[in-house]
């Protein structure tokens, strides 16, 4: 009963916060809209445009009552009714002159500006306790037709509820439970932390606001620090980590598979402590190290090959080598589970000519080396004769590693083309959000590589990717950027084969493509 009461209190707090937010924003909106009952406000010359719609459950498609609907800029907000319906009255004013579309109405954004055809919000979001708070799952971009009925889908949250059994029964020991989710990073599956919580006095724990997916849970080790018995120089006692349901390592533990809206009871994890201390164990601390990065440029096909050009870096005169080096970013992406990110940037310059940099504070482990450049393309990445574009970089304790050698060129290929049936494929997805693109193009390397795919964007069905490294690629187009494209998994990529093209690119080649649009499921 006490747990249910606490849960109800938490839900009420979230609901009251949403109501307060809606009332606060609506109070501002009331000053703008005036009396909208007849479609015309008190201020002379102002009329209103209606935006209406329904908030529904993405699984059952049933309406969701009392959800908060609001605009990106928080100028418009309201609670929908019990049937999930909402309706906004957006002020507009006449200027007495026709615009480019033959209309004499200019929409007023409430702040002295003009939004064009739509006045007011360019996109709407919704939220309610019990449904995911991820804006990507809720945002609806408004099309040019302001009178159309909108549908905002909310994804119901999934829950993991469980209990940790301890030898003690007085409720004083509370452990930290970690939650990890299987994700796809740079085309490869890995486990990433998705949350943590402490057990309650009775050992129960709960994870909420979860999306569908694969999860693992385990407890952190807990050292007994009773002030009456704790001796930092003496024998330490505590609870070791336990991986659900009762394993000693992460790899052996069971995977919990969640679907949207599901509640999973993860059962119980039993933790015991064997009497007696561990003798002979030692712990050595070693500092993180530094890795030298050497950049070699072989620019031949552009103005970078000219000897008479002048360059600047951060507003100061620089040599060509320093200018090229300033465009290079090296990231170390951990390959091992639980390994914290190298994702390192450059440190100090090592030599006077500016062709050497240093990656600092690098922890031991295995890494993928990602190199990005704004000039040309990365032709080669090596370390001690090892090709890092196909093999991981291994950093020994102390951060010791041979220098990373990077070669840049600027004779890359060009891939241009169009998306077939662009108008019919994107009908109803027109948007007024500045700079927002409607589709993306992926060039996925066909060979096993550590490098991520090349990505381009389009808002009109035409695309162009410059300085593409020579090689074999699979070209795909998506109606929006896929959240988890496991491009290194052949089985996962088979479903895209029908709407993709395999191309072989040589240095300096220009390739024309016509691609079909792949739909990314919501």
The per-residue pLDDT for range 32-75, each reduced to its tens digit, is 333 333 333 334 455 777 888 999 998 899 999 999 998 888 88
Q: Which pLDDT value is given to residue 132?
A: 86
Q: Which CATH class name applies to 289-409? A: mainly beta
Q: Which pLDDT value is given to residue 438?
A: 72
Question: Residue 100's pLDDT band (boundaries 50, 70, 90)?
Answer: very low
Question: Residue 274's pLDDT band (boundaries 50, 70, 90)?
Answer: low
Asked whether 396 and 362 are in contact (CB, 8 A), the reply is no
What is the CATH T-level fold of the domain 2-154, as seen in this structure? Answer: Immunoglobulin-like (2.60.40)
Domain ranges of the chain: 2-154, 158-270, 289-409, 413-518
Q: What is the CATH number that goes with domain 158-270?
A: 2.60.40.10
Reported as a single tens digit per residue, the pLDDT across 439-459 is 889 999 988 787 788 899 888
The strand pairing partners of 478, in sequence order, are 440, 518
Share of the chain above pLDDT 70, in %: 68
* Choice between 430 and 274, residue whose per-residue pLDDT is larger: 274
Q: Which pLDDT value is given to residue 353?
A: 44
Tokens of 165: 């059994």
Q: Which pLDDT value is given to residue 421?
A: 81
Asked whether the predicted pLDDT for residue 80 surpasses 90, the reply is yes
Q: Which CATH class name applies to 413-518? A: mainly beta
Q: Which pLDDT value is given to residue 3?
A: 44
User: Could you tell me the pTM of the whole model?
Assistant: 0.64
Asked whether 58 and 154 are in contact (CB, 8 A), the reply is yes
Is the bond preceding residue 277 a cis peptide, omega within 30 degrees? no
What is the C-alpha to C-alpha distance for residues 389 and 391, in angstroms, rounded to an integer?
A: 6
Tokens of 182: 């299987």
Tokens of 288: 């993180």
Q: Which pLDDT value is given to residue 415?
A: 96
The two domains 2-154 and 158-270 share their CATH topology (first three levels equal): yes
Asked whether the predicted pLDDT for residue 31 surpasses 70, the reply is no
* Average pLDDT, integer, range 1-10: 49
Task: Taking the CA atoms of 176, 179, 185 and 187 in sequence, report the sign of the dihedral they define.
Answer: positive
Reported as a single tens digit per residue, the pLDDT across 376-387 is 899 999 999 999
Reported as a single tens digit per residue, the pLDDT across 338-375 is 665 554 444 433 343 456 778 888 888 889 898 988 88
Q: Which pLDDT value is given to residue 99?
A: 40
Least confident of 216-230, 320-334, 394-408, 438-452: 216-230
Reported as a single tens digit per residue, the pLDDT across 500-515 is 999 999 999 999 999 9
Q: Which pLDDT value is given to residue 377?
A: 93
Q: Which pLDDT value is given to residue 26?
A: 43
Q: Which pLDDT value is given to residue 447?
A: 84
DSSP line for 373-428: ESSSEEEEEEETTEETTTSPEEEBTTTB-PPEEEEEES--EEEEEEETTHHHHTTT
Asked whether 33 and 48 are in contact (CB, 8 A), the reply is yes
What is the C-alpha to C-alpha distance for residues 342 and 332, in angstroms, rounded to an integer?
A: 5
Tokens of 248: 């000693």
Reported as a single tens digit per residue, the pLDDT across 168-197 is 767 677 889 999 999 887 777 888 899 999
């Amino acid at each position: 009963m006490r747990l249910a009461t606490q849960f109800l209190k938490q839900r009420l707090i979230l609901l009251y916060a949403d109501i307060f937010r809606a009332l606060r924003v609506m109070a501002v909106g009331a000053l703008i809209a005036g009396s909208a009952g007849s479609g015309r406000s008190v201020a002379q010359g102002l009329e209103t445009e209606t935006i209406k719609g329904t908030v529904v459950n993405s699984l059952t498609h049933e309406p969701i009552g009392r959800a908060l609907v609001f605009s990106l800029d928080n100028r418009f907000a309201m609670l929908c009714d019990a049937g999930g319906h909402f309706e906004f009255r957006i002020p507009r004013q006449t200027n007495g002159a026709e615009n480019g579309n033959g209309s004499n109405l200019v929409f007023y954004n409430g702040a002295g500006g003009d939004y064009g055809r739509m006045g007011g919000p360019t996109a709407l979001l919704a939220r309610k306790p019990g449904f995911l708070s991820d804006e990507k799952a809720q945002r609806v971009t408004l099309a040019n037709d302001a009178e159309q009925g909108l549908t905002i889908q909310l994804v119901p949250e999934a829950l993991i509820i469980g209990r940790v059994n301890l030898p003690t029964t007085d409720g004083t020991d509370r452990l930290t439970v970690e939650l990890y989710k299987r994700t796809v990073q740079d085309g490869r599956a890995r486990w990433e932390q998705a949350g943590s919580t402490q057990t309650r006095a009775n050992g129960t724990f709960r994870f909420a606001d979860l999306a569908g997916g694969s999860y693992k849970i385990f407890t952190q080790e807990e050292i007994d620090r009773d002030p009456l018995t704790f001796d930092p120089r003496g024998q330490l006692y505590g609870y070791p980590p336990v991986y659900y349901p009762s394993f000693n390592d992460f790899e052996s533990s069971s995977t919990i598979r969640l679907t949207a809206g599901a509640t999973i009871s993860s059962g119980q994890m039993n933790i015991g402590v064997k009497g007696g201390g561990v003798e002979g164990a030692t712990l050595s601390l070693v500092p993180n190290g530094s890795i030298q990065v050497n950049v070699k440029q072989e620019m031949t096909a552009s103005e970078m090959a000219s000897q008479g050009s002048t360059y600047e870096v951060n507003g100061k005169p620089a040599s060509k080598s320093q200018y090229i080096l300033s465009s290079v970013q090296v990231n170390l992406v951990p390959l091992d589970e639980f390994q914290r990110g190298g994702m390192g940037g450059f440190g100090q310059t090592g030599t006077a000519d500016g062709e050497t940099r240093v990656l600092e504070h690098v922890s031991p482990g295995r890494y993928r080396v990602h190199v990005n450049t704004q000039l040309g393309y990365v032709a080669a990445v090596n370390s001690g004769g090892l090709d890092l574009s196909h093999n991981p970089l291994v950093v020994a304790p102390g951060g010791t590693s041979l220098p990373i050698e990077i070669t840049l060129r600027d004779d890359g290929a060009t891939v241009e083309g169009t998306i077939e049936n662009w108008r019919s494929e994107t009908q109803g997805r027109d948007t007024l959000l500045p700079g927002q693109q409607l589709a993306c193009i992926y060039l996925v390397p066909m060979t096993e590589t550590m490098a991520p795919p090349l990505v381009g964007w389009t808002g009109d069905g035409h695309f162009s990717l410059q300085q593409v490294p020579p090689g074999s690629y699979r070209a795909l187009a998506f109606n929006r950027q896929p959240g988890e494209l496991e491009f290194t998994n052949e089985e996962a990529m088979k479903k895209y084969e029908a709407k993709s093209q395999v191309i072989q690119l040589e240095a300096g080649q220009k390739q024309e493509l016509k691609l079909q649009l792949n739909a990314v499921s919501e």
